Amino acid sequence: MYSVRHALAHGLLGTTLCLLPAIAAAGSDWRACVDIEADRERLACFDRLAAQKPAVRERPHQAASKSPERESAGREDDDAAENTLPLISTVDKKAPVALEQRLRSEESGEHNPFVMRGYNPNYMMPATYTPTDLGRPVYDFDPQHAETKFQISFQFNWLDEPLGDGTALYFGYTQLSLWQTYNTELLGGEEDASSPFRETNYEPEIGLSIDTDYRLAGLSFKRARLSLIHTSNGQGGDRSRSWNRLAAGVAFGRGNFAGRLRGWYRLPEGTEDDNPDMTDYMGYGDLVLAYKWNRQTFSATLRNNLQIDSNRGAIQLDYTFPLNKRVKGYVQYFNGYGESLIDYNRSVSRIGMGIRSEDWL
């Protein structure tokens, strides 16, 4: 029979053989265990080393065997893995990152009954100035060159998925106002002016929204819309201005760049049309281009009647910068026809500053 000492020695030998991989990975620490005289403590030392997870290292022969072709393939695999990230990542420069964020923000607002979804930009510019003479015979006051300009716009879905996934029957509303805030006797204006609203335009619309995923010329086309739009200033007599149109538009983007191209057809109004030449000045569509950079947004809105002999149009340039998580500083420049319905056939230039909550991006 083996003695207890011999049995313990054999047990230690077997345990040591099982632990050799872990001991080798542990480096020089195993030598400290060998120097321990007590059998039980020496075995416990080997057990502790075995419980440690050695770092996985690449074998020298494996590193040497890597060819340039394999390294290139590895980089391609890494790139492919990066391109599987969500669209809000900036890794895929071709993805409509900024536009995707805007559309996702709209979707989250649609499912929250306590949140009003923005549509066109919402802004308030208490300080604007135009060198254009705003006087018209239809006014019972003399407009000043300085006034307040603001816009309110929202949207919501009447019906989700009427024609399948990614479709919605939506309603939108936009209101633009030009307010003669400083036209009072107290501020040196007319005695009887009493800070009137010079013009307010009301624009409800209803239409079909269709989410798309189509790529062309490096651009991703994400949403198309077919709309019926009514625009009016709510006035009667000589101040009355209104028109109705059918519009079709599509939103597109690439990285931090996004845009919207829209065309429209004016619906005939018969012999009682107050402004039959509206499209001669407002054109047949508009183009919005926007770019987001370091939480700042630069955008331009362009319109043109596409006529060579009597070419007319308008451009609006916008710049926004963050003030806090909800409000942005805002600078706007406008030049051309159709800033408002009352001025649809008069060229106006204006510069203004204020705040903006809803942005294109």
Question: Is residue 78 over pLDDT 70?
Answer: no
Question: Is residue 103 over pLDDT 90?
Answer: no
Residue 230 annotated in active site: yes
Question: Is residue 17 over pLDDT 70?
Answer: no
Gap between the Cα atoms of 189 and 181, Å rounded? 10
What does the pLDDT look like over 27-40, one tens digit per residue? 445 566 666 766 66
Question: Is residue 141 over pLDDT 50?
Answer: yes
Question: Which residue do the tokens 């770019």 mark?
Answer: 291
Residue 299 annotated in active site: no
Looking at 8-22, 80-94, 239-253, which range is the least confident one?
Answer: 80-94
Question: Taking the domains of the chain in order of start, what are their residue ranges?
Answer: 4-82, 97-358
Gap between the Cα atoms of 97 and 318, Å rounded? 20
pTM over 0.75: no
Mean local confidence (pLDDT), 247-272 = 93
pLDDT score at 22:
46
Q: Report residue 60's pLDDT band, with 50, 70 and 90 as the boundaries.
A: very low
User: Which listed residue (230, 240, 347, 357) is catalytic?
Assistant: 230
pLDDT score at 258:
95
Per this entry, what is the length of the chain?
361
What does the pLDDT look like over 151-172, one tens digit per residue? 999 999 999 999 999 999 999 9
What's the CATH architecture for 97-358? Beta Barrel (2.40)
User: Which listed residue (105, 195, 232, 240) is catalytic?
Assistant: 232
pLDDT score at 194:
85
Q: Report residue 72's pLDDT band, with 50, 70 and 90 as the boundaries.
A: very low
CA distances from 228 to 121, 173, 188, 261 (A): 20, 12, 43, 16
